Every structure is written in structure tokens, then in C-alpha cells.
Amino acid sequence: MLYSAYFRRQLEKLPLLPVDSDAMQILHQASQFKQRILELIARAERRIYLVALYLQDDEAGREIMQALYDAKQARPQLDIKVFVDFHRAQRGLIGKGAQSGNHEMYQEFATRYPSCDIPFYGVPVKRREWLGVLHLKGFLFDNTLLYSGASLNNVYLQQLERYRFDRYHQLQNADLADSFARFILRHFVNDTAVPRLDKPVIPGIGQIKAEQRRFLRRLQAGRYEFEESVIGPRQFGVTPLVGLGKRGNRLNRTVRDLIRSAEREIFICTPYFNPPRVLSRDIDGLLKRKVKVTIVVGDKTANDFYIPPSEPFKTVGALPYLYEINLRRFASRYQHFIENGQLNIMLWQHEQHSYHLKGIFVDDQLSLLTGSNLNPRAWALDLENGMLLRDPHRLLCDRFQAEKENILQHTHRLTHFSELEQLQDYPDAVKRLLTRIQRFKAHILLKQIL
């Protein structure tokens, strides 16, 4: 109790913004998320800032693009800006062969609507994509913040049959929206390191090498700025956080403090089971302190990169199996806690759909909304953000309980680690590749960048 109380006090020292309890809404489906984006675009009068890893050139992406340009034509005073990762926007989908980048769609729309100036910024967090990307999240419409770990494409928005399951939260608060807007405008706009992707000529990363280096240093020191206050009787507190790199990362520090503050139970969502070593130690500490731990993770077949054995194998298709190996090793180590009910590993699987949830719930009072996958890449390489929610009056309990029930709807509990497949059970192509990876110790490096 004293141990968890110390970290609870550390969290209480963080500045916060009070938000009225009725100003937050939780959506439960990808289709609802897409519909809400379109509704908010149509209603916005002052500003629309979209920040995502990517806005894809597909049916859903083009529908969002058209909605943005329609809004700009109808209300020319609207300040519309879109921010995506510099590298991701200029390549096709992994494992899908030769494809043009999404930047060509941005340029196409800019040419089609020359009187509508909507800038699409490419944010180069690192010089190479594998070294780190823009994983910041947040869609801003006037004073409404729509927050999700999702990017914008057919699967995340359930444009067709398949969906990629995520979390979706809408918060209505002017101070919170302004804080997000200030960070975006200060760091991403009018910086020579952040070129526009809707223009015909985009500088190569080598041409902005020095600018990108300075940009990276500024990002590492960045934070959300706001005037802190106290929570009223019908309010909860929100602390927006941003982090990049291992050192001085406020988001990472808060994640650890949040986990170690748990007294009774913790509920963790992550799409890819590959926690940093420090988080593995923190979870070990929770189990030793008899805290009930629930981890909701995607089955390997619910991974973005899973390739059914009936289809031609590509190298990227080995990733879901690497994550399953990690999970099996973890479950084997803590089998005793699985058997006594203290550790619940819930595997999400729903037909052909995929799973992308991330976040933490602690003791019915604390919650983290984040785009971070809680893996070594998020911990050290990518630019991530999140929001710590403090609910001392338990005003959000029913909403979060409904969200957890929705998350668990398509899960089953792992009762023994042997229920997970191992190397000898995998398709031959996967087995050969993973054997080579392990022989050359490449899995050690891969764990740090995946």
C-alpha cells in the first residue's frame, strides 16, 4: 500500500485541466468513429487540425479529403491543417508491392481545388522511418478533441467489411483543445524541417538534414502548455502528455507511475505484446503485490500483418508470430498467477477483423488514453502522446465499465500457456524465417524497433 501510494502522489503532482463529466463521450465502434469525424468536419466553424500517422489514399481517405475540401469551400475562414508522418506519406503499404505514396493524393486534391489552401504537413520525427515516426494522435474541431490511436484508412474507419478495433474518445473543452492546438502550431507549422506534402516539390530528408536535427531537439523538449486548475465536484482531471526518446520522457514516466500506483486492479490494452523490460518488471511487481492484472492483447490472427497460411507468405507476416512467442514466454513464466485468477490474459479475435487497442485503467479512478503501443519502439523511438484522466469522484466509472465490456466482447481467457502455438506449430515458411532470425540473434534487435 505504501509503495502504490508513493506513485499515486507522484501522479497527483502533475498539473491538470478540469473537464466537466458530461463533456466526454466514448464511442465503441470504428464505423461510429468515422461518422463522428465527418459530422465534426461538417460542423466546424473555426479550425480543424488532424494529426495521424497517415491519411491513406483509399476510399475512406478520399471521403475524408473530400469532406475537408467541401468544408473549406463552404466556410473559407476555416483553418484546416493536416499533419502526417513525413516518411509514411511517401511510400505504399508494407507487403503490398510497388505503390505510390499518399502525398500524390494530397497533391491531386490541391490541384483540383486551387482556391482552397489546405496544407498537409509531413513531420520528419527521425531521418529514417524505422528509427521513429510521428505517432502523435488527436483530431481537433473547434473546441472538440476526438482522440484515438487510429489512423485514417478503410480498415480503421470500417469503410468496407473489415475493421481495425481501437478506442475512441471525444472531449469538449476549450482549454484542452487550445493546449493541443498550441503544441501543433508551435512545433509543426512554419518550420523548414516540416515540408508541405501537397506541394509539387517535396525536399528529400537529406536536403533538410540540419533542420531535422534541430527539430528533433525541440520535440524532445516539447510539452503541452495550459493553465492548471483544480477539479470541481462534477469534473474529472485531464493531463495531456507528450514524449519522445528514453530520456526525460514525461509520457513514459507517467505510464510507469500509473502502473505502479495500482492497489487493487489494473486493465492494460496493447495490440502487440512486446513490453519494454521496465514495464515487464513493473507488471511482475504488481503480481507480487497481489494486484489483479488483466491484459487484453490481440490474437496473432488479429494482427495487422497476419497472413493466412493459404496465402503467399511475405517476410512481414512473421511479426504476429514473434509477438505470440513473446506472449507464450510471459504466460509460461506467470502460469501460477493465471491459474489462481490473479492474472487474466485476454486474447481478442473477431472473424477477419484486427485489433489495435492501447491504454490503461487503474482502480476505477485513473485511466490513460494513448496511441502508444507500450512497446520498445514507442518507449524510445516514436513521438507519442496521451492523456492521463483522474476521476476522484468516480463520475466516469459507468462509461469506462461499458468500454471495457465492449473491449472484452470478442475475447477469450488464456487458461494455460500451452494454448498458444510455438515455433514447431507454425507454417514452414514462418518456421524457417524465425529459425534464421533466432540463429543470428536478430530477434534482439527486432524487439527494439517493432
Residues 213 and 303 in one domain: no
Of residues 98 and 286, more confidence is placed in 286
**Confidence band for 226, pLDDT divided at 50, 70 and 90:** very high
pLDDT at residue 440 is higher than 90: no
Reported as a single tens digit per residue, the pLDDT across 298-324 is 999 999 999 999 999 998 899 999 999
* CB-side neighbour CA atoms (13 Å) of 121: 22
Q: Tell me what pLDDT residue 84 has.
A: 99
Domain contains 37 = yes
Reported as a single tens digit per residue, the pLDDT across 378-425 is 999 999 999 999 999 999 999 999 999 999 999 999 999 999 999 999
Residues 35 and 129 in one domain: yes
Domain contains 17 = no
Reported as a single tens digit per residue, the pLDDT across 323-359 is 999 999 999 999 999 999 999 999 999 999 999 999 9
List, edge to edge, every strand of the sheet that includes 120-123: 24-27, 168-172, 144-148, 138-141, 47-51, 79-85, 120-123
Residues 261 and 127 in one domain: no
Reported as a single tens digit per residue, the pLDDT across 24-71 is 999 999 999 999 999 999 999 999 999 999 999 999 999 999 999 999
Show which of 191, 220, 249 is a domain's final residue: 220
Residues 301 and 438 in one domain: yes
Domain contains 10 = no
Residues 443 and 404 in one domain: yes
Quick one: average pLDDT of 366-380?
Answer: 97
Domain contains 8 = no
Reported as a single tens digit per residue, the pLDDT across 96-131 is 554 679 999 999 999 999 999 999 999 999 999 999
Residues 241 and 202 in one domain: no
Domain, as residue range, for 373: 236-449
Show which of 220, 246, 261 is a domain's final residue: 220
Spatial distance between the Cα atoms of 59 and 351, rounded to a whole number of angstroms: 22
Locate 47 and state its grid cell.
Answer: 479550425
Q: What 3-state DSSP class applies to 269?
A: strand
Residues 275 and 133 in one domain: no
For the chain, what is the domain count?
Answer: 2
Show which of 185, 220, 255 is a domain's final residue: 220
Residues 72 and 38 in one domain: yes
What single DSSP character describes residue 416?
-
Residues 174 and 253 in one domain: no
**Averaged confidence pLDDT in the chain:** 95
Q: C-alpha dihedral over 340, 341, 347, 351, to 10 degrees?
A: 110
Domain contains 319 = yes
Q: Tell me what pLDDT residue 449 has.
A: 59
Alpha-carbon distance values, 301 to 272, 314, 357, 434 (Å): 12, 15, 15, 17
Domain contains 264 = yes
Q: What 3-state DSSP class applies to 346?
A: strand
Residues 124 and 160 in one domain: yes
What single DSSP character describes residue 140?
E
Spatial distance between the Cα atoms of 216 and 416, rounded to a whole number of angstroms: 44
Q: Tell me what pLDDT residue 67 has.
A: 99
pLDDT at residue 363 is higher than 90: yes
Domain contains 359 = yes
pLDDT at residue 92 is higher than 80: no
Q: Tell me what pLDDT residue 93 has.
A: 63
Biggest distance spanned by C-alpha atoms of the chain: 65
Domain contains 2 = no
Q: Tell me what pLDDT residue 23 has.
A: 98
CATH number of the domain bearing residue 280: 3.30.870.10
User: Active-site residue numbers?
Assistant: 135, 166, 356, 384
pLDDT at residue 441 is higher than 70: no
Quick one: average pLDDT of 251-256?
Answer: 98
**Confidence band for 2, pLDDT divided at 50, 70 and 90:** confident
Provide the percentage of residues in the chain whose pLDDT is more than 70.
96
On the 0-12 / 13-18 / 19+ scale of CB atoms within 10 A, 23 is middle
Residues 255 and 119 in one domain: no
Q: Tell me what pLDDT residue 99 has.
A: 61
Reported as a single tens digit per residue, the pLDDT across 128-176 is 999 999 999 999 999 999 999 999 999 999 999 999 999 999 999 999 9
What single DSSP character describes residue 221?
T
Residues 159 and 194 in one domain: yes
